Structure 1
């Protein structure tokens, strides 16, 4: 069913109520395009100079757990330590981009594939992270499947310190600079474990995604 005529009529009535011409003038379109192209930003809260410390603090406030290591080589051992302390299985699925890391030497069995229902732990990297809200930004791709951070009960994300930005707006600045403004099929902003309070206003974790989110920040990259 074609609704374009009805839509034009509705918009024309709205414009008439505003005392404007029924059709959009060329000058109006140019003004809108200019506004969008300028990427204006509203007021933002001040952040400390140390974005890594800020991210760690805000992530914990969002019920994530955090750890820091110096190099990527330290990540497998830190992952094993976390799994062991939490009483979790030392088996995981992971993004294919993590194949070069020494998981077996650290005592973890890792398969580089998309998860199935029985997988309990998912390992991912991240596109970047946001200090303001303790948020992980994950972008899907052939080797970075979105399900790795959504289906398993425990999501462990590797966060390079150099990829921690201040604000959400900075994420889209990176996308414009590095990806020409093109987003993948799925872009997920993850701020702590999945949660809901729909049932009797009681907070329940893991309702629509991971029950645990653990971020390992790598200071040396």
Structure 2
């Protein structure tokens, strides 16, 4: 279900209560764009600029966060790579996935995939990503009717398809890309940085406490 309309209605009521129009005026949007353009970036580490270096940095950082990473040449190779990964772990080749991935040859790779919202009992969830950040090895996921946020949160194993062309330097570039391509943020933006973890109990890190035990990124060089 797309909840964007509900969010817009709530914000419209808030604006009306403060004596403003239901939708932002063009001048307001221009003021925000001007501020973002002029606002200086804070201090940040030096990051690579070329594509191969960004991919390499993303892979290194993702692995430091306990994610696993595989590289393939094209999107058509993704299902076979996912099948190999599940076989290595001894996990049955069954999954739920975003509808945006429906065109890939899952059946040919031997994976039974359903394109629906995950429910309790679904062990493997497969998503794409809006982009990924080389600085932290994170995946940026935007919620929507065909890109459910729960797909990366509920199943024990999360497999993410990461086109190399969508790996950006850092979070600043990720948000700039969202503004450029989407105009406004969706209901939920999730940055996934490795498997779920907590250190609440005796300061001992435990994986899978509040989400997936495993995060596996399949980086598509030709994507």
TM-score (norm 1): 0.83
Structure 1 residue 47: Cα displacement = 1.9
Preserved contact between residue 179 and residue 185 of structure 2 (Cα < 8 Å): no
Secondary structure in structure 1 of the residue aligned to 2:45: coil
Taking structure 1 as reference, are residues 198 and 108 closer, same or farther at Cα in structure 2, changes over 3 Å only?
same
Map 1:29-178 to 2 at 5 A: 35-36=35-36, 38-48=38-48, 49=50, 50-178=53-181
Taking structure 1 as reference, are residues 220 and 207 closer, same or farther at Cα in structure 2, changes over 3 Å only?
same
Preserved contact between residue 89 and residue 120 of structure 1 (Cα < 8 Å): no
Which aligned runs of 4 or more in structure 1 are off by greater than 3 angstroms?
31-37
Rounded to whole Å, the distance in 2 between the matches of 1:105 and 1:163 is 26
How many residues of Structure 1 are paired with residues of Structure 2 in the alignment? Answer: 190
Taking structure 1 as reference, are residues 40 and 108 closer, same or farther at Cα in structure 2, changes over 3 Å only?
same
Rounded to whole Å, the distance in 2 between the matches of 1:177 and 1:145 is 22
Structure 1 residue 36: Cα displacement = 4.9
Larger of the two Rg values belongs to structure = 1
Preserved contact between residue 57 and residue 134 of structure 2 (Cα < 8 Å): yes
Structure 1 residue 40: Cα displacement = 2.3
Of the candidates 191, 201, 204, which is equivalent to residue 202 of structure 1? Answer: 204
Map 1:203-218 to 2 at 5 A: 203-218=205-220
Secondary structure in structure 2 of the residue aligned to 1:79: helix
Secondary structure in structure 2 of the residue aligned to 1:75: helix
> What is the root-mean-square deviation in Å for CA atoms of aligned residues?
1.6
**Unaligned residue ranges in structure 1 (runs of 5+):** 1-30
Rounded to whole Å, the distance in 1 between the matches of 2:35 and 2:79 is 46
Preserved contact between residue 129 and residue 141 of structure 2 (Cα < 8 Å): yes
2:18 match? none
1:183 match? 185
Structure 1 residue 38: Cα displacement = 2.3
